[in-house]
Every structure is written in structure tokens, then in C-alpha cells.
Structure 1
Amino acid sequence: MEITIKRLTESEPFHLEGRNGSGNTVDVDGSPSIGGSDKGMRPMELLLTSVGTCSAMDVIHMMRKQRQELRDIQVSVKGDRQEAHPQIFTDIHLHFDLFGPLDPAKVEKAVSSSVERFCTATRMVEKVAKVTYDFTIHP
């Protein structure tokens, strides 16, 4: 896997673009406090996004395999960071909102399996942060 990062304009020194091998892009920017212009997600926001999307994809896949009618899914990810530099995450909490006529036991199995076993992003960050989760089913 390889990602290329490039600055988009000289006048906005922290506005960067990440590009993968397929040509997909994501804008990244720094906070205004360091001279950024809020034209993209910040790196630590992308890390939380990676954790949430990785787990969401696992859950979607497992719900399909279990023949559950998952109509929609939303994942909220909250990260707390230590105050001293480097400001690493100390706690990350994922809340899953799942929509459809779902079996709670199958949802619990899918969510716990993703967070505790399968999601590579979660498995990496759990080396430095406590990762917790919960979920709500909306029939």
C-alpha cells in the first residue's frame, strides 16, 4: 500500500492532498491556530475516521453474511487525547447506530468481532488507547 501526499497551493501551506494508487483523494488541512485554512480533515480526525470506517465495513460484511437486513449504519467515533505532547489518543469510543429489523445477538457478535478481532485500524490503535464500543438498533 502506498499513499502520496502533496501540498495543493503555496498560499495555503498546510492544505494537503492524499492520493492512493487508485487515484482517490482526500483533503487534509491544519488548524487555523497553526496557519491552516480548514479545507480538509486534520490527521488525527482521519485516524478516527479510519477506525470508524474499518469497523463499519466489517459490520456491514458480517450482517450480510448473517442475512440481516441492515438498512443503514452510522458510526460516531470519539477520541480523547493526552494533553502533553505527543498528544496521542488515550481513549477511543465507537457508537454504532444500526437501522433495520436486526437480531440483537447477531449485531452484538458483528460489532464485538469487528472491534475486538477483525478491524486492523482498531487493533493498531488499541496498542496505545483504550477502545470501547456500544450500539443502538433502530428497527
Structure 2
Amino acid sequence: MVRIQLSRVNGDFGFEAKDAFGHIVRMDSTPESGGEDFGVRPMQMLLMGLGGCSGIDIVSILKKQRQTVTGFDMSIEGHREHGKEPSLWTNVHIVFELKGDIDPDKAKKPASSQWTNTALWQPPSAKDTPASPGASPSTEPTPTRPKQQCKHQ
């Protein structure tokens, strides 16, 4: 079981979340909605978690295939529903940039959404395009929520 402790520590919407190992993350709302810019926005943190899980999965898979990953960068762009509260992610686009002695064919499989936690964010109707090193699957999913938890708890 995973346990997170969340406490309001700053203004109306400034929270700190602490995991069982003592790691702390600060979150807040925008100043326009009453926050004080104390920390990251919770919906942005969801994308950060998605990126962290996917990055760990990709590097782990490539290491098992005896590929040498010397650099890894990821860019995540998310678009949310307009005019709804709360608004869900309608589109998440991820670009992976891998460096090292990596066979491009071996990098395609773990970078595709079906092999990483990006699949948790896509409904069955989402369509993937083939991924390659330096590029991610491009999807246009309908609004959705993660269907299961990240295995890197």
C-alpha cells in the first residue's frame, strides 16, 4: 500500500504532499484562482508523474536489451477541456529524446504508448502513430482518467 500525507501549509490552496520516504512536493493553485504560486499545479503534477513513470519504463526496458542510454529528455504537452470545471486532459503529446548507443528498432517499442505508462492515459479508441527515437506516439484521445496506477510507487 502506498501512503501520501497531504497538508495545507500556505494560504488557501498551498499544500505539501509527503510520501512514505519523506520526499515532499509543494502544490498550489494559480494566483487568478486564489493561490499564491507556492508550488506546481496539481494537474501539471499528473503530467510530471506520467513522464517519470514512462521514463523509468523506457530506460529499464532499454537496459534489459543491453542498450546504453547516456541521455534522456522528455517533453510533455497537455491540453485540457475548455469551459469545464474540473477539466480533464483531452490530448497529451510526449516527445522522447534518447542519446547513447541505442538501436533505433529497439527504442521504438518501449517508446510506444502500449509499452509504457502512457497507455494508462489513453482510452481504447485512441490511435497511435509509430514512434521512433526522438518522437513519441501522437494521439488525440477523448477526455480520460488514468485506468491504473504507475508501477513505480
The bucket for the TM-score relative to the shorter chain is 0.7 to 0.9
1:76-123 Cα offsets, whole Å, 9 max, x none, are 1111111021311111111001111211001101212xx21442xx33
TM-score (norm 1): 0.84
Cross-structure match for 2:17:
18
Distance 2:127 2:71 in 1: 23
Unaligned runs of 5+ in 1: none
| Residues in 2 aligned to 1:105 and 1:126: alpha-carbon distance in whole angstroms | 24
Q: 1:28 to 1:130 in 2, by over 3 A?
A: farther
Do 1:92 and 1:129's aligned partners in 2 also have CA atoms closer than 8 Å? no
Change in Cα spacing, 1:47 to 1:16, as seen in structure 2 (3 Å) is: same
**What's the counterpart of residue 99 of structure 1?**
99
Deviation, 1:130, is: 4.8
Match of 1:136 in 2: 134
Aligned amino acid, residue 47 of structure 2:
L
Q: Comparing both structures, which one devotes a greater share of its residues to strand?
A: 1
Aligned partners of 2:58 and 2:116 also within 8 Å:
no
Task: After TM superposition, list the pairs within 5 Å mapping 1:47-126 onto structure 2.
Answer: 47-85=46-84, 86-112=86-112, 115-119=113-117, 122-126=118-122
Residue 127 in structure 1 maps to residue 123 in structure 2? yes
1:124 Cα deviation after fit: 3.2
Instruction: Please give the TM-score of this superposition, normalised by the length of structure 2.
Output: 0.77
Structure 2: 5+ residue runs without aligned partners? 136-153
8 Å CA contact retained: 1:27, 1:39: yes
Residue identity (%): 31
Superposed CA RMSD in Å reads 2.2
